[in-house]
A = this chain, B = another copy of it.
Amino acid sequence: MTEASAEDLQKAGLKATVPRLKILRMLDTCDQSHMSAEELYRRLLEEHEEVALATIYRVLTQFEQAGLVERHHFEGGQSVFELCRDGHHDHLICLKCGKVEEFFDEAIEARQKAVAAQYGFELTQHSMTLYGLCASCRSN
């Protein structure tokens, strides 16, 4: 995938403003792909690219509505945001070091659809998050 750019914003129907580009770039290039608004704010600050926290929240909400970003509610209360890249996936999170792994499992997806159908639901989205200890945290 090429670097996040002004066109990505325009294609999504959003003006290519400086704060939006900073936020998009940070989501795209940061080693940490799942960040809270506060984390994003701090990292931008560190790179001397400060954007007001209120703007970060507004922009993330717009990105979410435009389908550029997904918002997750993991344990811990605050929302975490992730740039939508390839397709759908679920998450595996280490409770000790916070590492986030992404995975996709066809069998699970199929069963989810089957369960929803069984209850008469039209499925529009789902969230599935596994919590545990990652390999390196286990060995310590």
Contacts and interface: CB of A to CB of B under 8 A. Distances in A.
A132 B124 CA distance: 5
A131 interface: yes
A68 B123 CA distance: 30
Copies per assembly: 2
Which size bracket describes the interface of A in this complex?
35 or more
A130 B112 contact: yes
Interface in A72-91: 73-75, 77, 79
B126 A129 contact: yes
Contacts of A133: 121-122, 124
Given A107-B107, A129-B126, A92 B121 contact: yes
Interface in A47-91: 73-75, 77, 79
Interface of A: 73-75, 77, 79, 92, 94-95, 101, 103, 105, 107-108, 111-112, 115-116, 118-135, 138
